[in-house]
Amino acid sequence: MNRIVGITDRTCIDYLRIDRNTFGRLCRLLRDQIGLIDQKFMTLEEQVAMFLCLLSHHEKTRIVGFNFMRSSQTVSHYMHIVLCGMLQLYEVLLVKPEPIDQDCVDTRWKWFQGCLGALDDTYINVRVPLADALRYRTRKGHIATNTLAVYGRYLRFVYMLPGWEGSAGDLLILRDALSRPHTLKVPKGFYYLCDKGYANSEGFLTPYKGVRYHLKEWVPGCAAPQTHVELFNMRHKKARNVIERAFAVLKMQWGILRSSSFYPIDVQTLLIHACFLLHNFIRC
* Tens-place pLDDT, residues 54-69: 999 998 999 999 999 9
Does 212 share its domain with 249?
Answer: yes
pLDDT computed for residue 215 by the predictor:
73
pLDDT computed for residue 221 by the predictor:
62
Q: Count CA atoms closer than 13 A to 81's CA, side-chain side.
A: 23
pLDDT of 51 > 90? The answer is yes
CB 29: neighbour CB atoms within 10 A? 17
Does 78 share its domain with 119?
Answer: no
Does 205 share its domain with 174?
Answer: yes
Give the end of a domain, one of 28, 57, 88. Answer: 88
pLDDT computed for residue 6 by the predictor:
81
Q: How far apart are the first and last CA of the chain?
A: 25
Does 211 share its domain with 143?
Answer: yes
Does 65 share its domain with 99?
Answer: no
Does 34 share its domain with 60?
Answer: yes
Instruction: Calculate the dihedral angle through the C-alpha atoms of 113, 235, 201, 198, rounding to the nearest 10 degrees.
Output: -140
Does 167 share its domain with 43?
Answer: no
Contacts 24+ apart (CB under 8 A), 22-27: 22/281, 22/282, 23/48, 23/49, 23/52, 25/281, 26/278, 26/281
16: Cβ contacts below 8 Å, ≥ 6 apart: 4, 5, 23, 49, 52, 53, 56
- Residue-number span of the structural domain to which 13 is assigned: 2-88
pLDDT of 178 > 70? The answer is yes
Does 98 share its domain with 211?
Answer: yes
Contact 136, 163 (CB under 8 A): no
pLDDT of 147 > 70? The answer is yes
Give the end of a domain, one of 88, 107, 129. Answer: 88
Does 75 share its domain with 166?
Answer: no
Question: Helix or strand or coil: residue 121?
Answer: strand
pTM of the model: 0.92
Contact 242, 151 (CB under 8 A): yes
Contact 135, 167 (CB under 8 A): yes
Does 9 share its domain with 126?
Answer: no
Alpha-carbon gap, residue 100 to 117, rounded angstroms:
9
Q: Checking DSSP bridges between strand 157-165 and strand 144-151, what pairing results, if any?
A: antiparallel
How many domains is the chain partitioned into structurally?
2
Alpha-carbon gap, residue 30 to 71, rounded angstroms:
23
Range list of H helices, the chain: 2-5, 9-16, 20-29, 44-57, 61-68, 72-87, 90-93, 133-136, 170-179, 228-253, 265-283
Give the end of a domain, one of 88, 119, 152. Answer: 88
pLDDT tens-place string over residues 185-231: 899 999 999 988 898 889 999 999 888 877 777 676 667 888 899 88
Does 237 share its domain with 109?
Answer: yes
Question: Helix or strand or coil: residue 36?
Answer: coil
Does 211 share its domain with 236?
Answer: yes
